[in-house]
Amino acid sequence: MTHTVNDGHNATQPDGVTTARLTVAPVAPGTATLLPLGIDKIRISGGFWGHRQQLNRDAIIPHIARWQERVGWTANFDAVANGTVGHTRSGREFSDSEVYKLLEAMSWEIARTGDEELEQRLQSIVERIASAQQPDGYLNTRFGNADQPSRYSDLEWGHELYCYGHLIQAAVARIRSGHHDRLVEIACKAADHVCDTFGPDGLAGVCGHPEIETALVELYRATGVRRYLRQARVFLDRRGRHSLQDIEFGRSYFQDDIPIADAQVLRGHAVRALYLSAGAVDAAVEADDSPTVEAVERQYQRTLQRRTYLTGGMGSHHQDEAFGDDFELPPDRAYCETCAGVASIMVAWRLLLTTGNLAYADTIERTLYNVVAASPSTEGTAFFYTNPLHQRVAGQPSDPDEVSPRAHAQLRAPWFEVACCPPNVARTLAQLATYVATTNRDGVQLLQYAPGTIHASLEDGQDVRLDVSTRYPDDGEVTVTVVAAPRDRWTLTLRIPSWADGATVEVDGQVSRAQAPSHTVHDAAADSRIVLRLPMEPRWTTADPRIDAVRGTVAVERGPLVLCAESVDLPGGADVQALRIDPKQPPRPVGDGAVAAGVLFVPNGGIEQPYGRLDAYIEDAYDIELPLVPYHRWANRGPSTMRVWIPTR
């Protein structure tokens, strides 16, 4: 069943505020099967994600702001205003976008907490950006100013439209949280300039990095201005028609090889492909264009089936940060850029809202716990850019004052030449509550399990208020107390993860079995107590044998967590290359990880070449208790080698 939330254009109320603005969330589609709830309606009060939201506020956001000042990316805007940017500019061509992503993170954080000091910091950055905007709305610190290349002279690599996309997403966060301020004015002026310049009769180009498409659709949803939606469609229709130059990686790198609806699977640069998919779903939803939604869903499904790592990570090519072929998923060469994880969550979330398929929340959970949570260090002051599933060489600790040449970091680094990932983590953590639950005509769907409160108003105006208490994922028990419920019929739907064989739901003392993807409780009255119990025993996971790189290996998972072996846990710091595991003995739970029956072998030191007789390489072997820890925590105890997939022989 599809509900109309707001048709954007017609729903403008006399004061100019559209109903869609009232959803304090990054995605608020005009029509949806499941409706998002704003971050003002869901509060995460603690636990795994509450802790990370606090870390985001206390450490990650301030760290990012400090580094952006330090490397001069914020000052680039000042330099445009005083006319010196052509000689003094620092950072890569897309560095403006990192400042905008920080503003988006701050905006959601202010919406979440009402932090007035953070509001002051945001406003001071916005003033500096405002001073760099040209009278016609153009805004960029790398192009179009004195002693710089002219505007839009390098659509393949220039990222000007991409930067506007992030500026617009920050502005949408402001509008949705009730602010119509300078940041919104700057973004709307820039968006108008884009429509004037790249409209049907204008420059017939697209950006080498998709992102503006999804942003323009959301700006339309937030403001009701239809030309933003039209411009998004223009960009989407132009994509795949070779308006960009061919490059060494081929036009598939920026998805300009074939039209969006003609593709079978996601290909090329992973973040580009996923941002484009998000925009294509957004625009198609507003146009009631179900063939395009179905085409993107097919592509994304096939990508999940054949081009996605166990962690939910995507992208197996380092040289072009791209998807590999089907089943080309080497764990040691996994690229799995943190941003690709964030972008995959964006696509999964949009598909969940439009199709109502709760299995997409499994994908979101997997990616949140094993990609997004893996990026920041315990202190929130260093980050992973790439997320390999096998580290062969222990890394060197990063100098906390040094900028890392991005993906090469084998340990988390404080900052990168290309620092797209840290602010992407920050904005995702700040907006996290929106992914916890949805609503529809019938009731509420609980998608992610975190302690806190949920408040939904059903279509007939009746309120549902839920209190959730849980230690998940340390423990599989989730207790939902119905604080307020409709007098009439309603449903509470609990997502059951695909791995949760044997899950049960207890309603006021009555226990029943629950199966993936969901279990529905009918007409729970106020004060009802519903207890979901998910099996959290460690479990073996094997891979499709067509993923050659991990054939003959197993991984261990526990609840939503992928576990891994780290050399710091091996006797004498032995190397993870020398590990084997005995899959006949089940792994035992220990803490939030596990212990399995392992074997460490001693390589034959006399071997002169690595190819020969089957029994030539191993001199000795001995049994060990093999500790396995959550992947998201790896490398937090200093340099180590690590592997997720462990050979069985």
Gap between the terminal Cα atoms of the chain: 51
Quick note: the x/- pattern for Zn ion over 211-240, rule CB under 5 A, is ------------------------------
* DSSP character at residue 414: S
Asked if residues 187 and 173 have their Cβ atoms less than 8 Å apart, the reply is: no
Asked if residues 436 and 450 have their Cβ atoms less than 8 Å apart, the reply is: yes
420 sits near Zn ion (criterion: CB under 5 A): yes
- In the region spanning residues 441 to 460, those forming contacts with Zn ion, defined by CB under 5 A, are none
Compute the distance between CA of residue 167 and CA of residue 194 in angstroms, rounded to an integer. 13
Asked if residues 581 and 648 have their Cβ atoms less than 8 Å apart, the reply is: yes
Compute the distance between CA of residue 540 and CA of residue 64 in angstroms, rounded to an integer. 38
Minimum distance of Zn ion from residue 419's CB (angstroms): 8
Closest CB to Zn ion among residues 373, 444: 373
Radius of gyration of the chain (CA): 25
Minimum distance of Zn ion from residue 645's CB (angstroms): 24
CB atoms within 10 A of CB 370: 28
Quick note: the x/- pattern for Zn ion over 316-355, rule CB under 5 A, is ---------------------x-x----------------
Closest CB to Zn ion among residues 195, 346: 346
- Separation in Å, CA 402 to CA 70, 74, 95: 11, 18, 17
Closest CB to Zn ion among residues 278, 447: 278
> Which of 274, 326, 388, 362 has the alpha carbon at shortest distance from 634?
388
Minimum distance of Zn ion from residue 386's CB (angstroms): 9
466 sits near Zn ion (criterion: CB under 5 A): no
Asked if residues 285 and 293 have their Cβ atoms less than 8 Å apart, the reply is: yes
- Separation in Å, CA 380 to CA 60, 147, 384: 5, 38, 11
Minimum distance of Zn ion from residue 159's CB (angstroms): 13
Of 92-100, 159-167, 414-422, 514-522: span binding Zn ion (CB under 5 A): 414-422
Q: Please report, as a single letter, which amino acid is at residue 249.
A: F
Q: Please report, as a single letter, which amino acid is at residue 595.
A: V
Examine residue 497 and say whether the peptide bond preceding it is cis (omega within 30 degrees of 0).
no
Q: Please report, as a single letter, which amino acid is at residue 141.
A: T
Of 34-42, 140-148, 397-405, 416-424: span binding Zn ion (CB under 5 A): 416-424
Closest CB to Zn ion among residues 105, 421: 421
Of 79-87, 210-218, 412-420, 494-502: span binding Zn ion (CB under 5 A): 412-420
Q: Which residue is nearest to Zn ion (CB)?
A: 339
Closest CB to Zn ion among residues 98, 297: 98
> Which of 343, 431, 422, 331 has the alpha carbon at shortest distance from 38?
431
Of 320-328, 349-357, 421-429, 636-644: span binding Zn ion (CB under 5 A): 421-429
Minimum distance of Zn ion from residue 339's CB (angstroms): 3
Closest CB to Zn ion among residues 339, 524: 339
DSSP secondary structure, 179-193, as one string: ---HHHHHHHHHHHH
Helices and strands per DSSP (H, E), number in the chain: 15, 26
Compute the distance between CA of residue 10 and CA of residue 107 in angstroms, rounded to an integer. 27
Minimum distance of Zn ion from residue 212's CB (angstroms): 17
Minimum distance of Zn ion from residue 580's CB (angstroms): 35
Asked if residues 446 and 493 have their Cβ atoms less than 8 Å apart, the reply is: yes
Residue 36, token pair as written in the block: 């998002």
Closest CB to Zn ion among residues 111, 167: 167
Minimum distance of Zn ion from residue 38's CB (angstroms): 27
Secondary structure of 10-75 in HEC code, one letter for each residue: CCCCCCCCCHHHHCCCCCCCCEECCEECCCCCEEECCHHHHHHHHHHHHHHHHHHHHHHHHCCCCH
Residue 603, token pair as written in the block: 């390589």
Closest CB to Zn ion among residues 38, 423: 423
Closest CB to Zn ion among residues 383, 449: 383
Minimum distance of Zn ion from residue 421's CB (angstroms): 4
Among 24, 358, 421, 600, binds Zn ion (CB under 5 A): 421
Closest CB to Zn ion among residues 421, 635: 421
Compute the distance between CA of residue 477 and CA of residue 506 in angstroms, rounded to an integer. 11
Minimum distance of Zn ion from residue 402's CB (angstroms): 19
Minimum distance of Zn ion from residue 412's CB (angstroms): 13
371 sits near Zn ion (criterion: CB under 5 A): no
Closest CB to Zn ion among residues 382, 556: 382
Closest CB to Zn ion among residues 408, 546: 408
* Element housing 557 (H / E): strand 553-558
Number of residues that bind Zn ion (CB under 5 A): 4
Minimum distance of Zn ion from residue 270's CB (angstroms): 10
Compute the distance between CA of residue 593 and CA of residue 598 in angstroms, rounded to an integer. 15
Closest CB to Zn ion among residues 256, 337: 337
Closest CB to Zn ion among residues 60, 594: 60
Minimum distance of Zn ion from residue 272's CB (angstroms): 11
Compute the distance between CA of residue 104 and CA of residue 25 in angstroms, rounded to an integer. 12
Compute the distance between CA of residue 386 and CA of residue 384 in angstroms, rounded to an integer. 6
Minimum distance of Zn ion from residue 27's CB (angstroms): 20
Compute the distance between CA of residue 191 and CA of residue 119 in angstroms, rounded to an integer. 24
Residues in contact with Zn ion by CB under 5 A are 337, 339, 420-421
